[in-house]
Structures are given as structure tokens and as C-alpha cells.
Amino acid sequence: MSDATPPETTSIHQSADAHKLLRKRRRRERGFRMMGMSAIVMAMCALTWLLISIVGTGYTAFYQHQMTIDVVLDETVLDPNGTRDPDELRKANFRRIIQNTLYARFPDITDRRARQDLFKTVSASGATDLVRQMVYKTPSLIGQTLTLEVPTSDDVDQLLKGYIDREVSEDRRKLSDQQIKWVDELVASGEVHARFNWAFFTATDSRDPELAGIAGAVAGSFMALLVAFVVAVPIGIGAAVYLEEFAPENLFTDIVEININNLAAVPSIIFGLLGLAVFLNFFGMPRSAPLVGGLVLALMTLPTIIIAARAALRAVSPSIVDGALSLGASKTQAVFHHKVPLAAPGILTGTIIGMAQALGETAPLLMIGMVAFVTEIPTSITEPASALPVQIFLWADSAERAWAERTSAAIIALLVVLLSMNALAIFLRSKLERRW
Amino acid sequence: MILGFALSFIAMIAGGLFGRHLAISQVGRTGETGSAGPNRAHSLPKFHGYMLAWHIGFAALGLLALHGFRRDLLSTPWLIAGLALTTLLAALHSRRIIKPELRARDYVERYVRISLLLCSAVAVLTTFGIVLSLIFESARFFEKVSFLEFLTGLQWSPQTAIRADQAGQSGAFGAVPIFAGTFMIMAVAMLIATPIGLMIAIYLSEYATAKVRGIVKPFIEILAGVPTVVYGFFALLTVGPAIRGLAESMGFAVPTQSAIAAGSVMGVMIIPFISSLSDDVINAVPQNLRDGAYALGATKSETMTQVIFPAALPGIMGAILLGVSRAIGETMIVVMAAGRAANLTGNPFEAVTTVTVQVVSLLTGDQEFDSAKTLAAFALGLVLFVITLILNVIALLIVRRYRERYE
């Protein structure tokens, strides 16, 4: 056959058709590659968009506008009888004090409506609570004049942060032209100024966005996580050690293994239903408490910890255990004195990742009622509390701009904690990991 | 309960120290007072201590369990008394049994094994707890609402059920609109997550250099680590309004809360899930299949689409099924961005509701535990659990069988 082929014809691989096909195939190859790259770019864009939108709305919550006012603690208003009785002082009309302070600052405003508007530029409950606390603590202040910094109202704060459009007609704006004029005057004189928003980290939830903080939610989250840690880590490590080292090959072991794999994929809200039905209704544990939240989170993170701990145990060289056994250690001693300590970095990493998951989890906590409006920092794990992700959920429900800002700021705080937990896990893994 | 645990723990430590002390008093610190002969101890004194501690621990666990399940039989004062009594009994008993020839280490060995077994039984107990509580509460729901009506009814308005005193106003519990909404959001999410996740996995495993992988992988991991409530807020604050704005500029009216907004954000959430699972699956395809294809002159993309992909297909299906199960069970994104009204619609630009949204809205706020409204949440939870369980089991079986094929 080869004899029949004329020598001048080129190979079929060199023909015009072949070149065309080759070009087409190369084009397809490039197209496929581009698809892969664009998928990565799309995912990264989504993440960037998310981060930018949250940081963009949230960063302004870390500073807040405060108003410096000279508060005259008028005795005739606060303590007309001169008794200095703490109970009377608590009920005294501090609102009037703040109002008088503002009216004194703008003496030419006499109209009642205008005065009301003026009072709305300062955070009413923020200012009165501050003064009430001070007077209650040291009643001797009465009669003196104090220079205090009090938060402005959320509308003023939003205006100064540039979120309220001054160009919009007055009736479609939250602040009137007159109020804006006052605020501008106060800003020009330096009486209204921006400060770092410490209150966001030290205050608890509030009805007023300018006073709301995440301290209560952080405390609740911390307690729930502590409970989850105390419960899930020993049980998780125990289960992993059993399955890796002691479990005989029988039906029970198979059931446990299948179970753990399945539990890892059960929706978190189902764990919430379990918590509601078993812990709250059956065992009668307190509603909304970090104790129950922690238990539910513990059950939820248990599979993660078990799977990670088993992988870590498996990675330890069997010669270690063999060596221990040959020196007369019992099986338990060999495992607990030698294998578990060597697997500890891996177990720790898995635990941190599991805890990070638990920290970000919201749905099961909603089921067991950790959505209560809690204005005090919880002091024990049986008291009603909120949690940081739940706080985010609750604030996200409020439509006002000031709340969106707080919500984003709380998310930033949560993400920072989560990222540092994950970074710690990665760091520990690279630092402590040993290979055989 | 916490007090009980703390007391048991203290009792265990005290018992342990006591046992050790007893053993030391008989055989000395190293257990070798008599060096040889009848006084030479079998186990070190600390094992006598451990043994006693474990005796007390097991007894305390029994008491605590009884206290938890039947508080009427064993109230808190009795629990404390019982703990004290068992500690005392164990101590007295140990005075009899602690002798040099006692094989304490063997006992401890056995107890450790039993304790570890109990730890792994917690996982089984959790599943039992889930199944039993869901079935038990659902059964009570189906006493009030017929099973058939629940699965085939087209009307869902549980809120009216609160006014039970009004005759004929018992609410409607037809869950079809909810299932349809769940399905639609899941479909939107998977339409986004599957191609993107798969292409990321292919690119990372076949094309990317180690450097690119080193950059992209952490990014994807961050995407996986973002809490769902954050995605929900993102959908509510940014994506929903963006889609509405886009639709308005084209002349449609779309609500901020729509299936497409929730679904697309959920898709982004599931991308890392699909990509990491498919990455594993593609990497598990033996290299010689690739080499064979390259040897025949195939390009990388041809190798991928015609050789590796068909070989990895079962595993990829498994990954997608796990993604579907996650999409169905996802709660926070849909609660925040999908809406609460049960619309039976095929239009993804409308607000729909899902199983998880209904569970949340039925169970938050005030509850009377016997109303059909509250119990309906458990029936929905049961449906959710069964569907995700089936999906997970199928997916795990597929993935496992697939792995075995190439190992």
C-alpha cells in the first residue's frame, strides 16, 4: 500500500483539513481553559463583592458622632425636696436636664415644636442614662455643671456620615432643614465631633441604634462555645480513639461509622429541632440559655471533631504504639501516653475549625430561643442570652440605615474572629505537624 | 445538672486519691514494699485510685441520667444525697477489695474501653434523638392534620391556626407550595454552583500551577468559612436590591426578596462545597487514564471531557447530591432573603418560601406547644431530615463505591 502512495503528497497530518481541525481543537482547548479561569474569577468576584459591600456599609459604625454639652445639674429639677434619696434620684427628670441644656445652647429658640426638633438631635436615652448613672453614683454632683460627651441621635450621625442626602426635599428626609442647620453649627464650633465607637464593643443590644453594641451577644456566644467545647472535645476525642484503636469489627461499629458520616451532613436546623424537643421540652432546660445552645452546637460539631481526630490518629506512625506495647505498656497506656499526644496538633486543628463553624451557626440557636432581646450581659450559662450571629440576624431585620451599618460592623467583628481562628488552625497545623 | 456534674467530678477525684492512698498504705508508693512474695502488688497504686474513681464515675453517670430523665423520681437534693452515698459506698467497698493482688490495671483498662464506647455511642444517641423527637412530634401533628393533605395540599396558611376557637378557621397545612419553593431555590443555587464549582475543580486539578493553587485554594476556603447569616445579610442588603434595580431598569417589577436573590447567593455558598469534593474525585482518577489519552494525542480539554469526566462522573454526581442536600437544608440565607409567604409559582423572580423558612417562622415567637402550628414545624423538619438523609446516603454510597473502584 505504501508503494502506491505518491511521494509528493504530504501526510494527512499536514493537510489543510488537518490544520483546520488542529486550529479548532486548540481553540476549544483555550476556550475550556478560559472557562476554568472565569469560574475562579467569578467565585473570587462574589467573595470580593460580599466583603466590599459589608466592609463598605460597616466601617462607619466604628466611629460615632458625639456632642459635647454643658449639663447643669439643676437641683430644682432633680431633687426639689433636697433629700438626695437614691430612689427618688433614679426617678428624677433627667430628660428635662438634657432638654434645658440644649435650650440653653440655643436660647433664641422658643417655639415648642422647634425645641422638640432640637432635642431630637441628641440621643435622648443615651444622654439621660449617662447623666442618671453619674448622679446616682455621686449625688454630690447635683448643683454643679458638667461637660459631657453624649452620643448624637442616629439620624444626625447618619447625616454627618453622609448617608442622608441634603439635596432631597425636606419632607422626604429624616432631618429637617432647621435641624441640619443646628448640626452644622455645632460641627463648625467643634461641639459635635467624631469619636471611636467604644460603645459598640462594650454596650449590649438596645432599641436605639446609636446605643446598641455587641458585648452581650459576644458574651453569649463565648459561653455557648465554651459549653460546646467542654462537651464536644472530650466526647469527640473519646469516640475517635475508640473507633481507631479499640472498636471491634462488628455491627455496632458499622452503625456508629455510618451515623457519624450522616450526622456531618444533617442540616443544622434539625439539630435545633432536636434541642427544642429534647433539651427544652423533655429535660426542661431553660429557654434561650447558652447552656442549651452550647449543647446543640456540641452535638453539631461532634462529627467534625471525630472525623478530624480520626484522621490525626491515623497519621501517627503505628511503630510508636508498637514500641510502647513492646516495653510493657498496656493498650490504653500506649494509646493515651503516646499516640494521642502525637496526634494532638491535628486534633487541635480540627477542634478549632469545628468551633469556628459552631461560632458562625445561627439556625439551631433560633430554634432554642436564643433570639431574645437581652439588654444585659449574661453572667451565667443558664441565663437568657443572645449570640453574635443571632444578633446579626436580629439587627438585619431592621430597615433603618443605622441598623444596616451596625449589622455590617457586627459581621466584620464575627468574620475577624472566624478568620483568626482559621488562621490559628492553619498556623498550628504547619507549626506542630509531624510527618513520619 | 451542672452542679451534679461538678459534684460527680469532685467525688471521682476524691475517690481516686482515696484509692491510691489505700493502696499505698498496703504496698508502698511503688507497689513493691514486700519486694517479692505475697505483698508484691499487681498494679501501681495509681491504678487502684483510677479504678475507684471510675466506679464512682459510672455510678454517678447512672444517677445523673436518672435525674435527667425522671426528675420526679430523683430531685436535685436526692441527687446530691445519692452522689454522696455512692461515694461513701464505693470507698467502703474499696477498703474490702483493695489488696496487693488486685488486678487494678486490668479493670481500669476495661473501664477506659467502656467509657470510650459510651463516647462513640453519643453519635448514635444523637441520631436516635433526632429521629424519635421528629417522629413523635410529627405523629401528634398528623393526628390533627391528615398526612395526605399535608403532602398534597396546595394551601399553606398556618397563621390562622392560632385562632382555634373560631370554627372553620383551623388553618391550611398543604405543604406543596413550600416544597415547590424549596425546589426552586435549590435549582437556582445548583445552576450556579455546579458549573462554577466543577470548572474550578477542573482548573485547579488539571491546569493550575502550584502557585495559582496556593492563591486560589485559601480564597475558596474563605468562601466556605463565611457564616450563612452573613450570606443572608449580603443577599438582603446587596444582591436583592441589585437584582431589583436591574429588573426595574429593564421594565420588570421584582421584589427585593426573591427566589433568584436567595438562590444565587446560596449558589455562591455551595461553590466551595462542590469544588472541593469534585477536586478530590478528579484527583482520584488514576494518572494512567490521563497518560493514555495524552499518548493518543488528545488535548487537555479533550482528556478532561472525554476520559476523566466520564470516569469521575459517579463521584461528581455524589458531590452534586451532597450540594443539593445542603441547599435544601440551608436556613439563614432563605430566612433573610427568600420571603415568608407561601406562593405556588414557577417564576424565580417572585418571593417563595422554603421548608427551613417555615420551620423558623413557626417556631420563633410565642409558642404553645400543642398547637398544630408548632407541631407543623416538626412535620416539615421530618420531611427535611428524610430527604437530606436519603440524598446523603445515596451520595456517600456513590462516592465510596467510586473510590473503591480506583483503589
pLDDT tens digits, residue range A111-143? 888 888 888 888 888 888 888 888 888 888 888
A25 touches B at CB < 8 Å: yes
All residues of chain A having their beta carbon less than 8 Å from the beta carbon of residue B121 are 256
B18 at A interface, C-beta within 8 A:
no
Does B127 share its domain with B180?
A: no
Least confident of A173-187, B50-64, B220-234, B357-371: B357-371
B79 and B216, same domain (yes or no): no
Domains and CATH numbers, chain A: 62-197 (no CATH), 215-432 (1.10.3720.10)
DSSP one-letter string for A201-269: HH----SSTTT--SHHHHHHHHHHHHHHHHHHHHHHHHHHHIIIII--SSHHHHHHHHHHHHHTTS-HH
Considering only alpha carbons, which residue of chain A is nearest residue B234? A50
Q: Which amino acid is at B259?
A: A
**Is B220's pLDDT higher than 60?**
yes
Residue B333 lies in a domain: yes
Residue of B nearest to A358 (CA): B227
- Residues B265 and A47: their CA atoms lie apart, in Å, by 11
Is residue B117 situated within a structural domain?
A: yes
Which chain B residues touch A361 with a CB distance below 8 Å? Answer: 227
**High-pLDDT (> 90) share of chain A, %:** 37
Tell me, yes or no, whether B143 lies in a domain. Answer: no
* A147–chain B nearest CA distance, Å: 39
Q: Is residue B77 part of a domain?
A: yes
For residue B1, which residues of chain A lie inside 8 Å, CB to CB?
Answer: 285
Question: Tell me, what CATH number does B193's domain have?
Answer: 1.10.3720.10
B159 within a domain of the structure (yes/no): no
Both B358 and B224 in a single domain? yes
Same domain, B89 and B11: yes
Quote the CA–CA distance of B21 and B31 in Å, as a whole number.
12
Eight-class DSSP state of A122: B
C-alpha distance from residue A72 to each of A97, A103, A105 (Å): 7, 12, 11
Lowest mean pLDDT among A27-41, B157-171, B240-254: B157-171
A227 in contact with chain B, both atoms CB, cutoff 8 A:
no
d(CA B286, CA B360): 46
| In a domain? residue B163 | no
Contacts of range A241-245, beta carbons closer than 8 Å, 24 or more positions apart:
A241/A309, A241/A313, A241/A335, A241/A336, A241/A340, A241/B116, A242/B113, A242/B116, A242/B117, A242/B119, A242/B120, A243/A306, A243/A310, A243/B120, A244/A310, A244/A313, A244/A314, A245/A313, A245/A331, A245/A335, A245/A339
Residue B168 has a pLDDT of 46
- DSSP letter (8 states) at residue A162: T
Chain B partners within 8 Å of A276 (Cβ): 363
d(CA A303, CA A232) in angstroms, rounded, equals: 9
Residue B137 cell numbers, joined: 412530634
Q: What number is the ipTM of this complex?
A: 0.89
What domain count does chain B have? 2
Specify if B371 maps to a domain.
Answer: yes
User: Are residues B114 and B228 both part of a single domain?
Assistant: no
> Buried (b) or exposed (e) across A273-291, using 16+ Cβ within 10 A?
bbbbbbbbeeeebbebbbb
Scan residues 314-353 of A and list those with Cβ closer than 8 Å to B.
Answer: 330-332, 336
Q: Which residue of B has its CA nearest to A410?
A: B230
Q: Please state the φ and ψ torsions of residue A147, each to the nearest 5 degrees.
A: -100, 115
- Rounded CA separation B279/B332 (Å): 27
The answer, for B375 touching chain A at a CB cutoff of 8 Å, is no
Asked if the C-beta of A366 comes within 8 angstroms of chain B's C-beta atoms, the answer is yes
Query: What confidence tier does A100 reach under pLDDT thresholds 50, 70, 90?
Result: confident
Cα separation, A39 vs A42, in Å, equals 5
Q: Which amino acid is at A384?
A: P
B209 vs A: CB within 8 A? no
Q: Are residues B84 and B233 in the same domain?
A: no
Q: Is the pLDDT of residue A97 over 90?
A: no
How far is residue B49's CA from residue B19's CA, in Å, rounded to a whole number? 4
Share of chain B above pLDDT 90, in %: 33
The reply to whether B238 and B382 lie within a common domain is yes
Which tens digits make up the pLDDT trace of B18-33?
Answer: 888 887 777 776 666 5
Q: Considering CB atoms only, which of B133, B322, B330 is closest to A273?
A: B133
Chain A residues inside the 8 Å CB shell of B196 = 39, 42-43
Q: Is the pLDDT of residue B254 over 50?
A: yes
Residue finishing a domain among B93, B120, B138: B138
In tens, the pLDDT along A231-283 reads: 999 999 999 999 998 988 888 888 888 889 889 889 999 999 999 998 888 88
Q: B166 lies in a domain?
A: no
pLDDT band at A304 (very low <50, low <70, confident <90, very high): very high
Q: Within this chain, do residues B211 and B133 fall inside the same structural domain, yes or no?
A: no
pLDDT 10s digits, B281-310: 898 888 999 999 999 999 999 999 999 999
A150 vs A126: CA distance, rounded Å: 7
- Pick the residue of B111, B119, B305 with the most A CBs within 10 A to test the interface with A by mutation: B119
Rounded Cα distance, B215 and A250, in Å = 44
The per-residue b/e assignment along A232-260, b for 16 or more CB within 10 angstroms, e otherwise, is: bbebbbbbbbbbbbbbeeeeebeebbebb
Whether residues B355 and B208 fall in one domain: yes
pLDDT the model gives residue B139: 92
Confidence tier at B370 by pLDDT (50, 70, 90)? low
Is B176 found in the same domain as B124? no
- Bigger pLDDT: A434 vs A168: A168
The pLDDT confidence band at residue B167, using thresholds 50, 70 and 90, is: very low
| Backbone φ and ψ of B200, nearest 5° | -65, -45
Rg (CA), chain A: 32
* Cross-chain residue pair A238–B120, CB shorter than 8 Å: yes
Same domain, B134 and B180: no
Name the residue range of residue B268's domain. Answer: 172-405
